[in-house]
Structure 1
Amino acid sequence: MAQLLLNITGLSKQFDTAKGRVKALHQVELRIKEGEFITVIGPSGCGKSTLLRIIAGLDVQYSGHVRLGDQEIEGPGIDKGFIFQEHRLFPWLTVEKNIAADLSLRDPEVRRRVNELIELVKLEGFAKAYPKELSGGMAQRVAIARALLRNPRVLLLDEPFGALDAFTRAHMQDVLLDIWRTNKTTMIFVTHDIDEAVFLANRVVILKPRPGEIKHIVPVDLPYPRKKTTTSFQELRLRVLKLLDSMDELELTDGAGI
């Protein structure tokens, strides 16, 4: 039985702005087991990215508790990988050097791990290529490989496919699921896309508008691999859509990436 990996209790977050104090998150309660794939969806400004940044340890000014394993998260660390919407690769480094990041490829173990990740993200033959020679989807695969280099316990993905065209986005969803099944890394994936949320996840976490609170957690009991055209998929998608439609300020992409 999978063990509890991430335990969030009573999480609230406020920002001080020129217009006053803004509540971003309010009393968020979430428990995630090892190996789960969680998607987080909700209206723009409901605190999805803020939640990821707190889990990543990039923002430690909040109330409540966020524990990874039995340790309170107090800052960034190699046990947490983070992937942004933009790939953020170094343009002067090759694919293999971007994946290695601050580690030397002269180290046999680093070289072995980088080669293993290049194969995992299906970029064989592109180790010596530079970012300008890659498509958007390929560049994001490099970013995923780099985030996995140190075997993080949780991988946090903040709309990583949002800038891709529909065909590439659908392909990258399949690639990410292959990586998840192979690597068994716990993943928390923020998206605005309902189909993407249902297609990827074991559970879909729905946040209500600011201040962000968890309104619903929808289990996705569909076997992998999934097809978006099946009746069971469409029924779950419709259920999530109806839950979102019940909230104000709905700003979601309905069906992008099909």
Structure 2
Amino acid sequence: MSEPLLKIQHLNKTFQSNKGSVQALHNIQLHVKEGEFITVIGPSGCGKSTLLKIIAGLDVQYSGDVHLGGQPIKGPGIDKGFIFQEPRLFPWLTVEKNIAADLSLRDPNVRKKVDELIELVRLEGFQKSFPRELSGGMAQRVAIARALLRNPKVLLLDEPFGALDAFTRTHMQEVLIDIWQKNKTTMIFVTHDIDEAIYLGNRVVILKPRPGAIRNIVSIDLPIPRKKTTTSFQELRLKVLSEFEKIEELELVDSSGI
């Protein structure tokens, strides 16, 4: 059996505040294979974004082991792509220059890669457009293309479709699945939406809060393309919902002091 691409073992994260120390993550253990699409879901405050930032190398103040490709993660790098909740494009640059970022389009290899990514994220014809001329979904596609430019080992997505309307969000889910199937990039996607987590993921990691810990991991063995109206999809939805109900019951017990 091959080694997992991402290996997280006994990960603990504590924040310091005026009221003392607050544990954000407790004993997280997760192995992700190369080419997997993992979705992470849980109540607000369960540490989803914190976990993503640690994998990205944006937060290195923790205990435990986090390895990518057999190497400990010591900071940010081109082997990790990160998509934020908003696109964060440079408003003075065109689509193609935003994707190229600090690389020159005069380099034929960069030019070729940017053109391939524009086609991959379905933005043909918008190469010369500026961010102000794009819809929210199109802007996020530019951000995804930019993150894929250097062929990262893992693409980390922190609720990238949360601000989009329902129609655009559904379309972007289809675009992302298409990108994943064609590019085979390992993806870890944080969301608050249960349907989105099931629709996108090979596995759904369910976190519980205070402190953030893995409650359960649900495997999604549905063929692609997936339909949210099928009986099998709804059965998985009920399974994930039942985990949330158990989390709420535990929180009620904790808050009551029983």
Partner of 1:220: 220
Partner of 2:43: 43
Amino acid at match of 2:17: T
Contact persistence 1:41–1:205 (CA under 8 A): yes
**Deviation, structure 1 residue 143:** 0.2
Amino acid at match of 1:59: D
Amino acid at match of 1:116: E
**Deviation, structure 1 residue 230:** 0.4
Report SS of the residue matched to 2:239: helix
Partner of 1:125: 125
Q: Which runs of 5+ in 2 are unaligned?
A: 251-258
Counterpart-to-counterpart distance in 2, 1:74 and 1:119 = 33
Query: Relative to total residues, which structure has the larger helix share, 1 or 2?
Result: 2
Counterpart-to-counterpart distance in 2, 1:94 and 1:194 = 35
Q: Deviations over 1:52-75 (max 9, x none)?
A: 000000000000000001100000
Q: Which stretch has the larger CA shift, 2-11 or 169-178?
A: 2-11
Partner of 2:27: 27
Partner of 2:198: 198
**Deviation, structure 1 residue 247:** 1.0
Contact persistence 1:204–1:219 (CA under 8 A): yes
Report SS of the residue matched to 1:113: helix
Counterpart-to-counterpart distance in 1, 2:159 and 2:2 = 26
Partner of 2:11: 11
**Deviation, structure 1 residue 248:** 2.5
Is 1:61 the counterpart of 2:61? The answer is: yes
Contact persistence 1:95–1:126 (CA under 8 A): yes
Q: Deviations over 1:153-211 (max 9, x none)?
A: 00000000000000000000000000000000000000000000000000000001121
Contact persistence 1:38–1:202 (CA under 8 A): yes
What is the root-mean-square deviation of aligned Cα atoms in Å? 1.2
Counterpart-to-counterpart distance in 2, 1:103 and 1:175 = 25
**Deviation, structure 1 residue 2:** 6.3
Is 1:139 the counterpart of 2:160? The answer is: no
Contact persistence 1:2–1:35 (CA under 8 A): no
Partner of 1:184: 184
What percentage of aligned pairs have identical amino acids?
77
User: How has the CA–CA distance of structure 1 residues 135 and 249 changed in structure 2, closer, same or farther, with 3 Å as cutoff?
Assistant: farther
- The 5 Å alignment of 1:103-114 reads 103-114=103-114
Counterpart-to-counterpart distance in 1, 2:245 and 2:133 = 42
Amino acid at match of 1:7: K
Counterpart-to-counterpart distance in 2, 1:56 and 1:174 = 25
Compute the TM-score of the two structures, normalised by the length of structure 1. Answer: 0.95
- The 5 Å alignment of 1:140-179 reads 140-179=140-179
Report SS of the residue matched to 2:247: coil
Contact persistence 1:209–1:248 (CA under 8 A): no
- The 5 Å alignment of 1:76-91 reads 76-91=76-91
User: How has the CA–CA distance of structure 1 residues 104 and 233 changed in structure 2, closer, same or farther, with 3 Å as cutoff?
Assistant: same
Contact persistence 1:3–1:34 (CA under 8 A): no
Contact persistence 1:43–1:249 (CA under 8 A): no
Partner of 1:253: none
Counterpart-to-counterpart distance in 2, 1:166 and 1:122 = 19
Contact persistence 1:209–1:249 (CA under 8 A): no
Amino acid at match of 1:215: R
Compute the TM-score of the two structures, normalised by the length of structure 2. Answer: 0.95
